[in-house]
Chain A
Amino acid sequence: MTKKNLLSTWILLIALTLLVVFFSLFFDGENYLATIILLISALKFLAISFYFMEMKKAHVFWKTTIIVFLLLFIGIVLIIS
């Protein structure tokens, strides 16, 4: 991964973190809040695994496994809550 890619990923992660906190503060109590927070967090999770951990270069098996885990986790939490 190039240094420029890593820097862009870091900026994106900081922006998404602040965005998720903004949503939780200003849309507290809304029905869709949990969905938005979890989806943004899923994006951050993928950014770290694909860019910082270089999963982007890994075999499709590993990429699929991490995405399936994330979809299952977010899906189950959303269904329950």
Chain B
Amino acid sequence: MNKNLVKNMYYPPGGILMWIVIFLELITFGMALVAMAAYSKDEPEVFHNSRLLLNTTYGTINTLFLITSGFFMALSVRYLKDGNAKKSSLYLKLTMLGGLLFLILKTIEYNAKIDAGLTLEYNTFFSFYWMLTLFHVIHVLVGLVILTIVYFDLKKKKEQTNLDDFEASAAFWHMCDLIWLLLFPIIYLIF
């Protein structure tokens, strides 16, 4: 095997450790979603009627927020690689705004569900809904904290910002997109 291939294998974009974390997270969420699909076979009507109680519009808008936020993150990385710290910083702020909008809409959605009595104990579908979406929200919150730290680092060091750290943070943020892309169709659309 040549030297470049070996290097590439151990250095995926964002770093090997971040990708191990990403795969572990994807497997965890994946297994929970498979369990949800399996439980739906025992109570198909409960799952269908419960799914209809969810607000698909909120789910769709939140998907658009996260996709757009991911797009800004990718642009931010691109600009930093090009040596344009000012534009990178601008797109990083827009990325965080996308994450904040996601959390605001999720809070509105959660409030509506709690007011309607659709809590964790309501039925099996809503147990999965709360556990999976709340676990995802925690990841978005952690992602926002990481991006805030990276933002202040970028502001201080400008073009001297460590690109590996920046890419690892971006990979974590994109992981939140990937997880949501698995959650959204199964929870909001399929049953």
Chain A residues close to B by CB (< 8 Å): 1-3, 6-7, 9-10, 13-14, 17-18, 20-21, 24-25, 33-34, 37-38, 40-41, 44-45, 48-49, 51-55, 57-59, 61-62, 65, 69, 73, 76-77, 80-81
Contacts and interface: CB of A to CB of B under 8 A. Distances in A.
B85 interface: no
B101 interface: no
A46 to B, nearest CB: 10
Nearest to A62: B12
Interface residues of B, number: 42
The 6 closest A-B pairs by CB, nearest first: A59-B8, A10-B71, A54-B13, A24-B189, A59-B9, A52-B74
B contacts with A: majority SS: helix
Given A6-B75, A57-B13, A77-B34, 11 more contacts: A10-B67, A21-B60, A24-B189, A41-B181, A45-B181, A45-B182, A48-B177, A49-B174, A58-B12, A73-B182, A80-B34
Contacts of B186: 77
B37 A80 contact: yes
B190 A48 contact: no
A45 B171 CA distance: 14
